[in-house]
């Protein structure tokens, strides 16, 4: 199941996605786009860096980081989940800030843009754990998961779900 940015753009929309993907016990692969507005911000960050405007890129990174801080505060209600989400934000925003210190090239632009899908997938996975559902954040590697090669080539991140919200789970496959 693929969910676009609007479908995961607000915490209450992620709650709806969790309900939808667990309404039955059929295994699913859940693919999430970046949270609504994130891709546009990342494109602007890349454009600023391409033009040598590191100050403007830094301001945009900081604003996006602040937006995600608010997002996780609304999405997650447990101290443990918030701590995990803080670590995710730290990892991805440190990456964006490191890019400010190195020479920009077009190859980096793909890495910048990938941060949106990575963030939404990891944050949804953290929420999903608090939703009382077993899930698996799957990073797709074609060497280990031939069945998921198409997702790897699309550059997607996904979650593999093998159960429903009532605790009827088979097993969760971790693909890495």
30 located within any domain: yes
34 located within any domain: yes
pLDDT for position 96: 97
Cα separation, 141 vs 15, whole angstroms: 28
170 located within any domain: no
142 located within any domain: yes
Range of the domain at 144: 2-161
129 located within any domain: yes
9 located within any domain: yes
169 located within any domain: no
How many domains does the chain divide into? Answer: 1
Residues 8, 32: contact at Cβ < 8 Å?
Answer: yes
Within a 13 Å sphere around the CA of 15, how many CA atoms are in the beta-carbon half?
9
Show Cβ contacts of residue 56 under 8 Å, excluding neighbours closer than 6 positions.
Answer: 48
Q: What is the CATH number of the domain that holds 45?
A: 3.40.1160.10
Show Cβ contacts of residue 137 under 8 Å, excluding neighbours closer than 6 positions.
Answer: 121, 122, 125, 157, 159
pLDDT mean across residues, the chain: 80
Query: pLDDT of 121-135, one tens digit each?
Result: 999 988 988 865 454
For residue 159, name the pLDDT band (cuts at 50, 70, 90): low
Q: What is the separation, in whole angstroms, between the first and last Cα of the chain?
A: 19
CA distances from 128 to 56, 92, 157 (A): 35, 20, 15
pLDDT for position 1: 85
pLDDT for position 165: 47
- What's the mean pLDDT in 71-85? 96
172 located within any domain: no
Residue whose C-alpha is closest to residue 157's, from 15, 8, 29, 12: 29
Within a 13 Å sphere around the CA of 157, how many CA atoms are in the beta-carbon half?
20
């Amino acid at each position: 199941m693929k969910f676009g940015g609007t479908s995961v753009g607000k915490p209450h929309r992620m709650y709806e996605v969790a309900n939808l993907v667990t309404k039955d016990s059929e295994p699913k692969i859940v693919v999430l786009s970046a949270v609504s507005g994130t891709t546009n911000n990342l494109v602007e960050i890349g454009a600023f860096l391409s033009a040598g405007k590191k100050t403007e890129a830094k301001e945009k990174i900081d604003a996006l980081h602040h937006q995600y801080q608010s997002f996780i505060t609304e999405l997650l209600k447990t101290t443990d989940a918030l701590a995990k989400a803080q670590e995710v934000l730290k990892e991805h925003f440190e990456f964006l800030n490191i890019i400010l210190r190195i020479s920009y090239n077009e190859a980096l632009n793909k890495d910048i843009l990938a941060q949106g899908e990575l963030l939404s997938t990891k944050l949804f996975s953290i929420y999903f754990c608090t939703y009382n559902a077993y899930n698996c954040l799957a990073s797709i590697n074609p060497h280990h998961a031939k069945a998921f090669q198409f997702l790897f080539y699309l550059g997607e991140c996904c979650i593999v779900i093998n159960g429903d919200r009532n605790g009827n789970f088979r097993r969760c496959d971790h693909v890495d």
